[in-house]
Every structure is written in C-alpha cells, then in structure tokens.
Amino acid sequence: MPRSQRRRPGVDDAREAIRSLRWIEPPAASTLVMAKGMEDKTCRHWLVSGRVQGVFFRAATRDQALALGLDGSACNLGNGQVEVFAYGAPAVLDQFEAWLQRGPPAARVDAVVVGSCPGPLPAGFTTG
C-alpha cells in the first residue's frame, strides 16, 4: 500500500474529527442572560494625594475593597501619593471612589485623580 494511503492512528482520527466540526452561530446578544454576579466589570486606577502615607491608608483601603468585593492593590509612591487599582462592577467602584475621597480617620485626602486600567486584576487585594 502506498505511504499516502496508509492509515495513521491519531493523526487521521484528528483530521476526521476536524472535518466533521460545523460552525455554530452564537445566539443573538439579546438572548444572552447573565448569571447573577456576572454583570459587566471594569478596572479603575486612582492616585490619592494628601496625608495618605503613615496613617494606615493602604490597610484601610484594602479592608474597604474586600468588604465591597473588589480585587486590586494599593501601594505607596515615592512622591507621597498612594496608587490604587480596583476591579469590579461600576456601581461598586463608584462607592469605593467615594470612600477614597474621605479615606480613614487619620488621613487627609487633598485630591483623587481617577483613570482606567486594563483588567481584570488578580483575585484579592494587596498592599505594597
């Protein structure tokens, strides 16, 4: 039997399986139903200025984020600001941002600059 006609177990089976696949059209967007808790999520980035270092700002930020079910991080910057990233539902991020405007009791927040960031972020909330 010529080599081109020999059956090659595995290779020929895979080729046959691929040939038998059919393209299935996805359902229209209007028919998709999101499971509870799977609403659109987004990522936001904040730079918080004021007396925000040495006053447990990052720890309080982590506690607030975890209480709201957000993922992200908070870290001190060399210029005295705290940089915060968070990933979650837009309405929850709005609540979190309102908290960042106030901060914990010992902090004095002078300014909060908000931006977006690519998401999602790793699960949990870290401080650095």
Domain boundaries, the chain: 42-127
Beta bridge partners of 49: 111
Rg (CA), the chain: 25
Convert the pLDDT of each residue in 56-108 to its tens digit: 999 999 999 999 999 999 999 999 999 999 999 999 999 999 999 999 999 99
Yes or no: is domain 42-127 CATH 3.20.10.10? no
Q: Count the Cβ atoms, other than its own, within 10 Å of residue 64.
A: 19
pTM for this prediction:
0.69
The amino acid occupying position 7 is R
Determine the Cα–Cα distance for residues 16 and 114; give it in Å rounded to an integer. Answer: 53
CA distances from 25 to 28, 29, 96 (A): 9, 12, 39
Highest-pLDDT range among 18-27, 29-38, 117-126: 117-126
pLDDT at 122 over 60: yes
Cα three-residue angle 18-23-25, rounded to 5 degrees = 160
Convert the pLDDT of each residue in 40-53 to its tens digit: 899 999 999 999 99
Q: Which active-site residues does the annotation give? A: 58, 76
